[in-house]
Structure 1
Amino acid sequence: MGDKANTHPGAAGRATAADHPTSVRNVVLVGHSGAGKTTLVESLALASGAVSRAGRVQDGGSLSDYDEIEHRQQRSVQLSLVPVEWNGIKINILDTPGYADFVGELRAGLRAADAALFVVSAADGVDGATRLVWDECAAVGMPRALVVTHLDAARSDFDEMTALCQRVFGDDDPDAVIPLYLPLHGEPGPDGHAPVTGLIGLLSQRLFDYSTGQRTEREPGPEHRELIEEARSRLIEGIIAQSEDESLMDRYLGGEECDVKTLITDLEKAVAHGVFHPVLAAAPPADGAKRGLGTVELLELITGGFPTPQERDVPPVTTPQGKPCATLSCDPAGLLAAEVVKTSSDPYVGRLSLVRVFSGTLRPDDTVHVSGHGLESRGHEDHDVDERVGALSAPFGKQQRALDRAIAGDLACVAKLSRAETGDTLSAKEDPLLMEPWVMPDPLLPVAIQAHSKADEDKLSQGLARLVAEDPTMRLEQNQDTRQLVLWCLGEAHMDVALERLRTRYGVRVDTVPHKVSLRETFASPASGRGRHVKQSGGHGQYAICEITVEPLPEGSGIEFVDKVVGGAVPRQFIPSVEKGVRAQAAKGVAAGYPLVDVRVTLHDGKAHSVDSSDAAFQTAGSLALRECAAQAQLHLLEPVAELEVVVADDYVGAVMSDLSGRRGRVLGTEQSARGGTLVRAHIPEIEISRYAVDLRSMSHGTGRFSRSYARHEPMPQQQAARILEEAKNA
């Protein structure tokens, strides 16, 4: 680990294929936006020799956040992979966006990784969303460590930040969240803030000085001894508490000096098992420096303490038909089982699929089976096809460096998988498999769109298909009731990026329009009407008259048609025509253009002509009769009501319930959530929650989450309904 003080750099500029799963580490960086994840990735790449100067690959180009949208927005919006090498170990660093709208990219990174590095800013503290991700990792036993950044910010304090991390992340055992190093401060500047210039290793009791831009090692001074002793004792006790050697604690308490190598071995085992979470410090390199503070220590922690892919379970697999399969292991010689964790489009290479190989070995030009992922409800059709693998490569900024294979435990980019989408399984065509999908957040912000021009309309369908293929957190809906094309997103930033990608990547411009909910119309009182369609223009005429009554029915009854004609006033062959006309008009609406529901239409009387009556004439008469009834009756607009389940921290329950009441919601009750916090159940009109994904995030500081499901339609308040009806008349 870091106290081993090994400074062997990785090979710069090489794309290496791992030889064995034990020589691979997959680590995902987690933290809120602005915590310094991308800067840390670049520092690690520089320290390992993968780049020649911060943020640049050796033959030019940007290393991180190279997407044009990321440049414009000055933040990460997608998962990116940066492979580096340290001490013969290939480290796949997965940098994730910190903004909540891109949690789908974060979850993909968690799926592809075997350990998580939580990046927390000493200037900003820990936000609630990061705490939720920590709890998710804890639930599946993922190993975690913490890195404190921004120690150069005014009033930042490593000790205070460590104490905060112990309170926030150490619910089960605060002594499992302990620093391995203490920051060494230089002379205070004009503002009184002393910069961090080095680290003191608590196990090795050595000082690592970064003040010159290089990492040098020396004995700590006498002034550091007391500080080291206190922190070191606590660290040793924390390591021993997690040690598999139960006699070690007794020997330590008996005064026996613990061997440093033994402590490091026990520490690495505890980290790999996910029961000990070391805290480290990091800072970017100064101009011209080759190593940022703490980068060597982090690389040693990752290679020595984080687990190999063989130490993590392979996700369960079945056949595409759902039949159980034997449990797979991370074996390069085993059955092929890989998963697409990210899909993107490159203007030169075409579609690129970032793949995590869990079992077997993937090679260029292999023919693999692609199994769909069960997200048809989000616009991602299931598929079950064979495809030929294109070139394999390791991404490095905008570059793709060729690989000759990707073994179990490794990640690689695969070119030209035209049918594979994010979440799909790649397996041998002789033994097709389907991997259990990871949990995807539901997109709950509706955005209605339309093509900007006729040229855009011609390209819209294909552009949207490619967009949703890249992002399984997005859902595309063609609403038949409102005749709107709706893109469901996770938030406004998610929406902005999606529309920008449509424009810049696929050449499709769209306009957003107000989102409509699926309203219904119904009769509030009985009414009678007469439909008369009589036309004579010299030739064959049209003649049909029908008389109907309409009465309201209970919710969910639909349209009921009753024939009570006597004496053959309407010939039997034309009664279905009247019904067809009534139902067609009901589908189009009778007041504001929304479908009519929950009424009984009774045909009582009518007239026909022996020559001029026809099926079309009686359809028109039935339609006219229904419209005349509507003109005489009191109508209700019915709005959809959703059943809402909101999970929120206890501190925000009052604000959430008050907000729901202000949206015409009816709170049904509250209870403790199984995952912590309070579950609030409510019924609320859907028209009131079109932006609830944004508003709840603001109310709960990013910690709230909710789900919605259709409950029923119920009458809209008269004043609001009158406004919509008036707008429909004037349209």
Structure 2
Amino acid sequence: MGDKANAHPGAAGRAATADHPASVRNVVLVGHSGSGKTTLVEALALTAGAVNRAGRVEDGTSVSDYDDIEHRQQRSVQLSLVPVEWGGYKINILDTPGYADFVGELRAGLRAADAALFVVSAAEGAEGITGATRMVWEECAAVGMPRAIVVTHLEAARSDFKEITRCCAETFGADDPDAVLPLYLPLHGEQGPDGHAPVTGLIGLLSQRVFDYASGERKESEPGDDQLPVIQEARDKLIEGIIAESEDESLMDRYLGGEDIDYKTLVDDLERAVARGIFHPVLAAAPAAEGARQGIGTVELLELITGGFPTPLEHPAPAVTTPGGKPRPALSCDPEGPLAAEVVKTASDPYVGRISLVRVFSGTLRPDETVHVSGHGLADRGHEDHDVDERVGALSSPFGKQQRTLSQAIAGDLACVAKLSRAETGDTLSAKDDPLLMAPWDMPDPLLPLAIQAHSKADEDKLSQGLSRLVAEDPTMRLQQNQDTHQVVLWCLGEAHADVALERLRHRYGVQVDLVPHKVSLRETFGTKAAGRGRHVKQSGGHGQFAICEIEVEPLPGGSGIEFVDKVVGGAVPRQFIPSVEKGIRAQAAKGVAAGYPLIDVRVTLLDGKAHSVDSSDAAFQTAGALALREAAADATIHLLEPVAEVQVLVGDEHVGSVMSDLSGRRGRVVGTEQAPGGRTLVRAEVPEIEIGRYAVDLRSLSQGTARFSRSYARHEPMPAQLSQKIREQAQDTA
């Protein structure tokens, strides 16, 4: 594996196709921003013959030309698919954004793939293996996904392949460092004036062959005498690592007994160990030099993907039920089986409309057929539930900005589907007469609020539709119409995620919005008992208005709401008007009595009042009730209540002190800690929501991107007097 000669010249200008699941490989690239994932994709496409030596497809665009926003922001912001052919196999390469704000795109890529390539920059050393990358590695390990490591930026002057391999073994092979070992060593050319010897090729440890790319073509030769000692040491360690993971328990005894294990046995065992997710080879790759046909290590990497990574036949499909929740038998990757496909990404094209990237897990998807669309809803994120039939439009295979037509997409393959107007990311496509629903994958919870308003009347008319289309494309966003603050809030994963959302609204949907300060849902309550008298008496010709009521208000424990008690005696307030008094009191409570926030947790007792046989009315007593509550508030101590969130932070032990100190600075109360696997601690705290508006951003900085947190509403409790007074003054200024 990886030591074979060039197997396939590629197929530029046509769509890569698959006629059987065994001929498909789905691989996702994982790595932090700047690690070289997109450059590696372009190098693989060049080696596979999918692009020309200038890195262009036949229309002149680059294979990495996906989104105008990516060009403007100079970074990848979305999952992209590049299908290539190599040695008779179709390889679907899924390139994911490296920035933490776009982890939703990464999760979608993991869902669609059967194996992962972790891309690490040699120029950055250990610092290039971020906490977020380690967390993704652990996610893959939990489900047994096969993983390999690709070291990039070997051309950098400060790159050190041996050191970065050691760092990878320490980080990714914490339980078994011998399961993370290089398959090749870099071949260095002549040392330059700066003392740096450029990488010109690779040395295969199993085959003991040299693959020299210095001429622009891959040339194979025997190693020199000076190279043999270095090769032998690394080769012995690699063989021991492979044998340790072998299913043949006698192999280690034979090896230790001095037997020379044949090359084919070693390669077969290596391929099995990689496919089972228990051995993780390290490879090196560098982009092709100008005019070269192949990048260093790209042939070896393509051979690893086709020979060492599993087929879709070996990857279990997600569990399925009927849309009503009734369990169904497990799916198998059979093109003749029941249709079951999943939308892993939704995008909009200004000319074609909505385009859905779909992974087919079972059956065969064909253009122009009617399918059933089932969705989980995610109502809390602004996504409606789906249970409808839709007609599939054209099927295509993306390549840069091109869409190459496909006649079908079989089980195990990925394809783009046009004109599915109702389907959203995460939805299931199945046969209309046999509807299915797949178990959803884990979506990160957006925790950074963005309060927005239309910039102009013209924007206001388009805002609702633009936001609906935006959240339909990205299930990691949550759209909230806050009934308490009357704000439109778009919840995002971070600042970069928010920037992209606003840019898409502006450029793709033609909606300009302004950011406004995000408000939390405050409340008011009485701190002391008070009495109030509401007098509404008017005479202006014809029927007048007459209503008088006297009330008493007293505070109640948190969570009690508003309690209304009638203690009128002697008919001072006629029975038919008592509900009117209550209605007026509740209406005024909803508007607030001090700073314009809803009043809660009080008991209002109606004690007395007066009525007029002609001029009293429902409206008059509603007004009197409201006036009485306002008068009582004027003579009482009114507390402003702020929402308090229960926050759980999962953080590495080395950052626990910083996190707890920061929470205390936010007026938080740490209520407990407990140890979690992987050298981490779960910190539980109660923190006022007004203090954690930007916590998603700040926590990432505090923990170097390694911590995660969740939040849930706990209760409302009184604000500090100084902060409460400031908010009241602001309310008076805007009144």
TM-score > 0.5 by shorter chain: yes
Equivalent in the alignment of 1:67: 67
| Structure-2 separation of matches of 1:714 and 1:55 | 60
Instruction: Please list, as runs of the form range in 1=range in 2, the aligned pairs for 1:309-388 lying within 5 A after superposition.
Output: 309-388=312-391
SS state at 1:222 partner: coil
Equivalent in the alignment of 1:622: 625
Equivalent in the alignment of 1:443: 446
2:571 corresponds to 1:568: yes
| Structure-1 separation of matches of 2:470 and 2:299 | 39
SS state at 2:3 partner: helix
SS state at 2:657 partner: helix
Equivalent in the alignment of 1:599: 602
SS state at 1:395 partner: strand
> Between Structure 1 and Structure 2, how many residues are aligned?
731
- Aligned residue identity for 1:567: G
Equivalent in the alignment of 1:29: 29
Residues 6 and 288 of structure 1, relative CA distance in 2, 3 Å threshold = closer
| Structure-2 separation of matches of 1:2 and 1:498 | 42
Give, in angstroms, the shift of residue 189 of structure 1. 1.9
Choose 367-376 or 338-347, whichever is displaced more. Answer: 367-376
2:65·2:401 contact (CA, 8 Å) conserved in 1? no
2:3·2:204 contact (CA, 8 Å) conserved in 1? yes
Equivalent in the alignment of 1:139: 142
| Structure-1 separation of matches of 2:316 and 2:10 | 28
SS state at 2:398 partner: strand
Cα deviation per residue 1:96-124 (whole Å; 9 max; x = unaligned)? 00000000000000000000000001122
- Aligned residue identity for 1:545: I
Equivalent in the alignment of 1:194: 197
| Structure-2 separation of matches of 1:463 and 1:676 | 43
| Structure-2 separation of matches of 1:695 and 1:4 | 49
Equivalent in the alignment of 1:696: 699
2:12·2:49 contact (CA, 8 Å) conserved in 1? yes
2:10 corresponds to 1:10: yes
Equivalent in the alignment of 1:610: 613
Equivalent in the alignment of 2:502: 499
Query: Out of 285, 288, 291, which is 1:288 matched to?
Result: 291
Equivalent in the alignment of 1:404: 407
| Structure-1 separation of matches of 2:551 and 2:376 | 51
| Structure-2 separation of matches of 1:222 and 1:700 | 48
Equivalent in the alignment of 2:665: 662
SS state at 1:56 partner: coil
- Aligned residue identity for 2:732: K
1:331·1:359 contact (CA, 8 Å) conserved in 2? yes
- Aligned residue identity for 1:22: A
Equivalent in the alignment of 1:119: 119
Give, in angstroms, the shift of residue 202 of structure 1. 0.7
| Structure-2 separation of matches of 1:8 and 1:456 | 52
2:272 corresponds to 1:272: no
| Structure-2 separation of matches of 1:177 and 1:493 | 33
Give, in angstroms, the shift of residue 11 of structure 1. 1.4
| Structure-1 separation of matches of 2:131 and 2:541 | 78
| Structure-1 separation of matches of 2:253 and 2:364 | 47
Cα deviation per residue 1:302-337 (whole Å; 9 max; x = unaligned)? 011010000111111111111111111100000111
| Structure-1 separation of matches of 2:439 and 2:564 | 48
| Structure-2 separation of matches of 1:729 and 1:599 | 24
Cα deviation per residue 1:341-386 (whole Å; 9 max; x = unaligned)? 0000001111000000000000001111110124122111111111
2:558 corresponds to 1:555: yes
- Aligned residue identity for 2:315: R
1:17·1:404 contact (CA, 8 Å) conserved in 2? no
Give, in angstroms, the shift of residue 55 of structure 1. 3.6
Query: Out of 231, 241, 245, which is 1:242 matched to?
Result: 245
SS state at 1:522 partner: strand
1:281·1:294 contact (CA, 8 Å) conserved in 2? yes
Choose 597-606 or 113-122, whichever is displaced more. Answer: 597-606
Give, in angstroms, the shift of residue 199 of structure 1. 0.4
- Aligned residue identity for 2:390: E
Unpaired stretches in structure 1, ≥5 consecutive residues: none
| Structure-2 separation of matches of 1:609 and 1:248 | 103
| Structure-1 separation of matches of 2:223 and 2:616 | 106
Equivalent in the alignment of 1:184: 187
Equivalent in the alignment of 2:105: 105
Cα deviation per residue 1:427-477 (whole Å; 9 max; x = unaligned)? 111111000111011011111111111111111111111111111111111
| Structure-1 separation of matches of 2:421 and 2:589 | 43
2:480 corresponds to 1:477: yes
Unpaired stretches in structure 2, ≥5 consecutive residues: none
2:66·2:80 contact (CA, 8 Å) conserved in 1? no
2:146·2:309 contact (CA, 8 Å) conserved in 1? yes
Equivalent in the alignment of 2:434: 431
2:58 corresponds to 1:58: yes
Cα deviation per residue 1:375-429 (whole Å; 9 max; x = unaligned)? 1221111111111110000000111000000000000000000110000000111
Equivalent in the alignment of 1:508: 511
- Aligned residue identity for 1:58: E
Give, in angstroms, the shift of residue 673 of structure 1. 1.7
Cα deviation per residue 1:57-97 (whole Å; 9 max; x = unaligned)? 12211211531111011110000000000001000000000
| Structure-2 separation of matches of 1:262 and 1:674 | 37
- Aligned residue identity for 1:464: L
1:523·1:551 contact (CA, 8 Å) conserved in 2? yes
Instruction: Please list, as runs of the form range in 1=range in 2, the aligned pairs for 1:191-230 lying within 5 A after superposition.
Output: 191-230=194-233
Give, in angstroms, the shift of residue 545 of structure 1. 1.4
| Structure-1 separation of matches of 2:59 and 2:586 | 69
| Structure-1 separation of matches of 2:546 and 2:455 | 45
2:470 corresponds to 1:467: yes
Cα deviation per residue 1:173-200 (whole Å; 9 max; x = unaligned)? 1111010100011112222111101100
| Structure-1 separation of matches of 2:732 and 2:572 | 35
Cα deviation per residue 1:566-621 (whole Å; 9 max; x = unaligned)? 22221111111111000000001111111000111111222222221111111111
Give, in angstroms, the shift of residue 284 of structure 1. 0.8
| Structure-1 separation of matches of 2:434 and 2:247 | 40
2:551·2:608 contact (CA, 8 Å) conserved in 1? yes
| Structure-2 separation of matches of 1:27 and 1:61 | 23
SS state at 2:35 partner: coil
2:121·2:152 contact (CA, 8 Å) conserved in 1? yes
Give, in angstroms, the shift of residue 487 of structure 1. 0.6
- Aligned residue identity for 2:369: D
TM-score where L is the length of structure 1: 0.99
| Structure-1 separation of matches of 2:474 and 2:678 | 26
Give, in angstroms, the shift of residue 8 of structure 1. 2.4
- Aligned residue identity for 1:57: V
2:653·2:679 contact (CA, 8 Å) conserved in 1? no
| Structure-2 separation of matches of 1:675 and 1:643 | 23
| Structure-1 separation of matches of 2:565 and 2:193 | 90
Give, in angstroms, the shift of residue 496 of structure 1. 0.6
1:10·1:88 contact (CA, 8 Å) conserved in 2? no
Choose 96-105 or 259-268, whichever is displaced more. Answer: 259-268
TM-score where L is the length of structure 2: 0.98
SS state at 2:433 partner: coil
- Aligned residue identity for 1:704: A
Cα deviation per residue 1:644-676 (whole Å; 9 max; x = unaligned)? 110000000000000000100000111012465
| Structure-1 separation of matches of 2:633 and 2:83 | 68
| Structure-2 separation of matches of 1:695 and 1:65 | 32
| Structure-2 separation of matches of 1:362 and 1:494 | 33
SS state at 2:227 partner: helix
| Structure-1 separation of matches of 2:9 and 2:684 | 55
SS state at 2:697 partner: helix
